[in-house]
Amino acid sequence: MTAVQPSTLTGHFLIAMPNLADPPFSRGVALLCQHDEAGAVGLLVNQLSEYRFGDVLAQMKLECQDSELADAPVLIGGPVQQERGFVLHHEPGDWDSSYRINDHWSVTTSRDILVAMAAGEGPRQAIMVLGYAGWDAGQLEQELMANAWLTAEACGRVVFDTPLEERWSAAAGLVGVDPRQLSGYAGHA
């Protein structure tokens, strides 16, 4: 029996196989924001940056009284444009610059969401990442055929409720895989 691949992996996780050792993708979990014949764009959701949310707010001259929010980690979203911030969240909201990934996920790049979050009025579940990951036309498909990635439908529990260091294993678990049991090489029958 052959598994049917969806025509697009938008709204799915890419879960790095052990043989994918390039930082920041090693043990990475990326949520694909867009995937079509032109290529793909995703955000890593488990790679810690050196910044905290309060650092980003301070740089934008915004105050935050919520110490838990200010101490929230900012993640490395990928190697492209790491000076650019993205807020990945569930509730779509009415922000100046948002992209609706699907019925469950949105990504926003405008300042107004940061202002709202600092005031305690932003989305209930959100993470901030710096940078993104991008794949040219056909590149992701080649990487999938080379067994560089597992795929699974993205799950908010993994992004918002699972500690960073456990997200890779938790994402792989969505498709019944224990990554500790995987080898660092792949073959084709």
Q: Where exactly are the structural domains of the chain?
A: 10-181
pTM, two decimal places: 0.91
Among candidate residues 145, 98, 127, the one with its CA nearest the CA of residue 31 = 127
Residue 142: is it exposed, middle or buried by C-beta count within 10 angstroms (0-12/13-18/19+)? exposed
- For the chain (length 189 residues), average pLDDT per consecutive 10? 62 95 94 97 98 96 94 98 96 90 95 96 96 98 94 97 97 92 63
**pLDDT score recorded for residue 3:** 44
Give me the CATH topology for the region 10-181.
VC0467-like (3.40.1740)
**pLDDT score recorded for residue 7:** 74
Instruction: Give pLDDT tens digits for 40-70.
Output: 999 999 999 999 999 999 999 999 989 999 9
